[in-house]
Structure 1
Amino acid sequence: MSYNWILFVYTTVVCASSILFDQTSSPILLSIIALLYIIVHFAEKKIVAATVFQISLLIAFHLYSQMDWCLPLYLAQMGKQFYKIRNINSASAVSLLYTITYALISFTYMPYSIYGMITILFSSFSCLIFTILFFRYIHVMEDQTQLLDNEKKHLSTHDALTGLCNYEECHRQLSQLVTARKPIALVLIDCKDLKSLNTTNGFIGVNRILKQAAQQLRMMFPNALIISRYGGDEFAIVLQSTDTLQPIETFSDQFAQEFPKLTGIEINYGMAFYPNDGSSKDDLIFIAERNLYTMKRESWLKREEHMLRSEKLRVVGELASGMAHEIRNPLTTVKGFLQLSKADNFNVGPWYDLIMDEITRMSMLTAEFLQFSKPHATKFKVHPIEPCIQRVISLLDSESGRLGHQIHFNADPQPFHMMMDQDKMLQLLLNLIKNAFEAMTDQGSVSIHLYSSDKNAVIEIADTGSGIPGTELDKIFLPFYTTKDSGTGLGLSICHKIVQDHEGTMEVESELDKGTKFIITVPLVFPDELHNSIQAY
């Protein structure tokens, strides 16, 4: 039930009681005053000086009703006024005025006696104390409500972690600045690699870094119009700007040098200026985000270039280390034989063949290394694949017969053409099949299957050898890696490079004691492309 309806019920009860107990001298006038009093309360927003009418009608109602029951009406009237009064002294003066009025009217109808006078004075004093306490209670509640409202507003407009404006509040304030047509500079900042720190520092450590970054931004830009946490690891700063070039130079120094030095965080940033870069908030944000993306892309490309350069240096180091190791062994052997020949009056006869074998081995090693590392002039022409495989089988026919191995070739009936260097393709197939022979200690078989798949020719070479352990499969294409007692470890690396030169892929599947399968996929040349190639030649 609302305040006015409670007042209506209570006023009606007091009016009826005064008439019923014969306390009023004019029941009709009392009823009219009560009705007017209620009407003024219900229509107070439409009546000028409604409070004055309410007080006047309350005094008249008390005077004609002649009942102490009017005291709660005085308290209710004071309570309404206390919502508008903020000063305790003013509230005390108002409550004192109401108390005196109540006491004076009560003296007019109460018979004179010591008890009656004390009762009136006690009631008046109690009314005064109650109203002052009520005033304090009202405003304590209002202050707490205002505090909660302010806290709620702050939480809805600020980031809980850093205390900066959040995304929505940043957009709202930025829109106001653009509407006011103030020349401003918007800077969007992205912290590099902050997400990756979660794995090393944990989210608590990353939160501490974000707080430190926010605090540093406040210190670096104390006159900023807006400092906002724009996203997870992004911040936004809005500064008043009258010159475009000066902020660019300043920001470049501060963000590229000062900020990383103070926080340990490298950043990318994008800037946009109003009104030079855009006439609306959305235009300004779009330009800033585009510039931020451009800087992130450049940073990413530099990092990739650095990683690629580091990887090249690592590979060169591994190649040099492997090459040095492979050459050192035969050199040590030759050195030993020469020392022995010196002791035998330089008679190298007994060791001549061994020395020549070691020298031949070094020559083969350097030749293979050059073939692997040095780019060669390739002669790509359109050739069918099947004759190339048949030729390899013919070349290995005598060796397979000597070792007791069998070669099975299975191909689809239609011809397959591709752009190839025949010599390189022969070398590739020879190496793979010879490796298969060496993997089969007992009599075994090598299966070659040629078929097409998605505009590609697929050559599968499978043996029945001992297989390769799963832990070794990722290493077999690395230079100088070998599981053989003899060999340079460059054979499969060269094969892999030949396939790459033919724009193909090379995969391996293996199972211990069951065999290994190499899968080579190379792009095909179709009849219309074949006709164009023939015309070109």
Structure 2
Amino acid sequence: MNSKWICIVYSVLVLSSSLYFGASVSPIWLAVATACYAAAHAFDKLLPARLPIQLALLVAVHWLSGTAWCIPLYLLQMCSLFYAIPSFRTALQINMLLTLAGIAVAFANRAASFETEVTAAYSIVSCFLFACLYRKVYSDIEHQKQQLTNEKKHLSTHDALTGLYNFQEFHKQMEKLVGSGEPVILVLMDCKDLKSLNTTNGFQGVNKILKQVAQLLRIIFPEAELICRYGGDEFAIVLKTDDVDHSIHSVTQQMAVEFPKLTGIEINFGIASYPSDGMAKDDLILVAEHNLYMMKRDSWLKREEHMLRSEKLRVVGELASGMAHEIRNPLTTVKGFLQLSKAGHYNIEPWYDLIMDEINRMSMLTAEFLQFSRPHVTQFKIQSIQKCVYRVLSLLDSETTRLGHHVQFDHEEEPVLMLMDHDKMLQLLLNLVKNAFEAMPEEGRVHIRLYTLEKQAVIEITDNGKGIPESDLEKVFIPFYTTKDSGTGLGLSICHKIVQDHEGTIEVESFVNKGTKFTIMLPTVGTKQPEAAVTASGTKISV
């Protein structure tokens, strides 16, 4: 039930009480005034000046009724005035006049005693004060309601972290800007490596950076029609322009130079202009996202190129350092023997063999290093791996007998064919089997197993030697790394390179005092050799 129906009900109660107690001097006019007052509330929307009519009728009903039962009507009417009239001063003035009119009627009623009149006046003044209090409470509630409405609207259209427009509002505003037909520029930007900072700075540190980016965008583009957080670490800026080419050049300069200089954050960005790049919002966004992707791609390629160049320089430095270390040792020996020969009047005969051994060692070292590092041509032909393994066993037959080792070779009956360089494959297998011989005590066992697995030839070379410590397994393929008293440390590195040249993989598994197993996986060309494959060959230059 709203206030107007409460006023109607109370007016009927005032009429009834006045007639029942005989307080009215003119019951007929009281009934007419009450009916008019109730109609003024029931049909208030049809009256052109309802408030003055309602107030006048209220005073008339009060005067004709001769009772204090009208006090609630004064309170309801005053509260309604504060609610209906936006201006507080105007509503206050009207309510003061209504209060004075009510006090005047209370004192003009001759039938009432002085005490009754004072009580009625006191009640009317209290109604006025309560109405003012109602206005204050109502105003506070409306203010809080408006704040909540504004906050809700802001949260629905703005990003909570940066205070910029969010993704949904961006599309709405962008639709309006494009619909206006004025030339605009859309810029989509993405902050590089910002996600990776979560691990170092934490999400709070990254959030702080995003806030700074948003503030800086407002400073750099104060004339922007629209700045929004497009998503994550991406932002969008929309600018109106009369000269599209000049604006694009200016924006590119600010994004590529000024923004990174001020923030220390590298960015990628894509630009699209209306109407040259599209007549619809989605077309502009598509062009800008494509340009952003292309810039990201170029940036990624440059970074990969830089990392590859740095890695090459690092490897060259390690190789040079290792080579210098390995050559310095025999040079120091030769230098010492020459100094001794000088002291002995250049008689080098006692040290001749030692000097020649060191010189031969340097020659072998430089030969292996050149073989490892320089580009070389490999001749690929389709051949059987079994024949290659049998060739290795025949070459090592005398050494196997001399050392007392036993070599076992297990393979499939069908020939396993692959495109390979026969000499390089021999070198690979010889190096691995010789390493197995050196790692084993007398009467050791070497097991070579060959089988196919998903179009891959798998060669396993297992020994029962002393094994390799777990801490050294990751280093066995590093150039110049060796645990032998005599050796260059390039043997397994060369093996690794040969396997890579054949587009295969090599793995090592070892247990101390139990043995080591090398597993080589190489691509095959089938188990049966076609006639056309007999002459198939190719040349490949490996670096």
TM-score, shorter chain, exceeding 0.5: yes
Instruction: Give 2:337's aligned residue.
Output: 337
Q: Which digits, 9 at most, give the CA deviation of each residue in 1:170-189, with x for residues without a partner? A: 22222222222232111112
Farther off after superposition, 11-20 or 44-53: 44-53
Instruction: Give 2:195's aligned residue.
Output: 195
Farther off after superposition, 512-521 or 309-318: 512-521
TM superposition shift of 1:164: 2.2
TM superposition shift of 1:200: 2.5
In structure 1, how many angstroms separate the alpha carbons of the residues matched to 2:261 and 2:471? Answer: 44
TM superposition shift of 1:134: 2.8
TM superposition shift of 1:495: 0.4
TM superposition shift of 1:319: 0.3
Task: Answer yes or no: is the 8 Å Cα contact 1:382–1:530 preserved in 2.
Answer: no
Task: Answer yes or no: is the 8 Å Cα contact 1:157–1:166 preserved in 2.
Answer: yes
Structure 1 segment 295-374 matched on structure 2, within 5 A: 295-374=295-374
TM superposition shift of 1:217: 1.5
Instruction: Give 1:425's aligned residue.
Output: 425
Instruction: Give 2:541's aligned residue.
Output: none
Task: Answer yes or no: is the 8 Å Cα contact 1:91–1:132 preserved in 2.
Answer: no
TM superposition shift of 1:14: 3.3
Give the number of aligned pairs: 537
Instruction: Give 1:151's aligned residue.
Output: 151
Q: Which digits, 9 at most, give the CA deviation of each residue in 1:134-174, with x for residues without a partner? A: 33332233223222322333233333333222222322222
2:422 is aligned with what amino acid? Q
Instruction: Give 1:100's aligned residue.
Output: 100
Structure 1 segment 86-485 matched on structure 2, within 5 A: 86-107=86-107, 109-111=109-111, 113-485=113-485
Q: Which runs of 5+ in 1 are unaligned?
A: none
Identity of aligned residues (%): 59
Q: Tell me: CA distance 1:294–1:243, structure 2 relative to 1, closer, same or farther (3 Å).
A: same
2:486 is aligned with what amino acid? S
1:66 is aligned with what amino acid? G
Instruction: Give 1:74's aligned residue.
Output: 74
Look up the SS of the partner of 1:487 in the other structure.
coil
Task: Answer yes or no: is the 8 Å Cα contact 1:225–1:238 preserved in 2.
Answer: yes
TM superposition shift of 1:113: 4.6
TM superposition shift of 1:233: 1.7
Task: Answer yes or no: is the 8 Å Cα contact 2:102–2:121 preserved in 1.
Answer: no
Q: Tell me: CA distance 1:330–1:300, structure 2 relative to 1, closer, same or farther (3 Å).
A: same
Look up the SS of the partner of 1:83 in the other structure.
helix
TM superposition shift of 1:50: 4.7
Q: Tell me: CA distance 1:3–1:530, structure 2 relative to 1, closer, same or farther (3 Å).
A: farther
Look up the SS of the partner of 1:380 in the other structure.
strand
Q: Which has the higher contact order (CA 8 A, sep 6+)?
A: 2
Q: Which runs of 5+ in 2 are unaligned?
A: 538-543
Q: Which digits, 9 at most, give the CA deviation of each residue in 1:332-361, with x for residues without a partner? A: 111111222222222221111111111111
Q: Tell me: CA distance 1:120–1:97, structure 2 relative to 1, closer, same or farther (3 Å).
A: same
TM superposition shift of 1:279: 2.1
1:97 is aligned with what amino acid? L
In structure 1, how many angstroms separate the alpha carbons of the residues matched to 2:398 and 2:128? Answer: 125
Q: Which digits, 9 at most, give the CA deviation of each residue in 1:264-318, with x for residues without a partner? A: 1111111111222222222222222221111111111111100110000000000
TM superposition shift of 1:121: 3.5
Farther off after superposition, 112-121 or 450-459: 112-121
2:425 is aligned with what amino acid? M
Q: Which digits, 9 at most, give the CA deviation of each residue in 1:184-241, with x for residues without a partner? A: 1111121111222223333333233222222222211111112222222222211112
Q: Output the TM-score relative to the length of structure 2.
A: 0.91
Farther off after superposition, 518-527 or 374-383: 518-527
TM superposition shift of 1:90: 0.5
Farther off after superposition, 17-26 or 144-153: 17-26
Q: Which digits, 9 at most, give the CA deviation of each residue in 1:376-420, with x for residues without a partner? A: 111100001111111111111221122121111111222110000
Task: Answer yes or no: is the 8 Å Cα contact 2:416–2:527 preserved in 1.
Answer: no
Instruction: Give 1:487's aligned residue.
Output: 487
Farther off after superposition, 71-80 or 526-535: 526-535
TM superposition shift of 1:11: 3.9
Q: Which digits, 9 at most, give the CA deviation of each residue in 1:472-495, with x for residues without a partner? A: 221111111111111111001100
Task: Answer yes or no: is the 8 Å Cα contact 1:213–1:263 preserved in 2.
Answer: yes
RMSD, aligned α-carbons: 2.5
In structure 2, how many angstroms separate the alpha carbons of the residues matched to 1:204 and 1:166? Answer: 20
Q: Tell me: CA distance 1:273–1:110, structure 2 relative to 1, closer, same or farther (3 Å).
A: farther
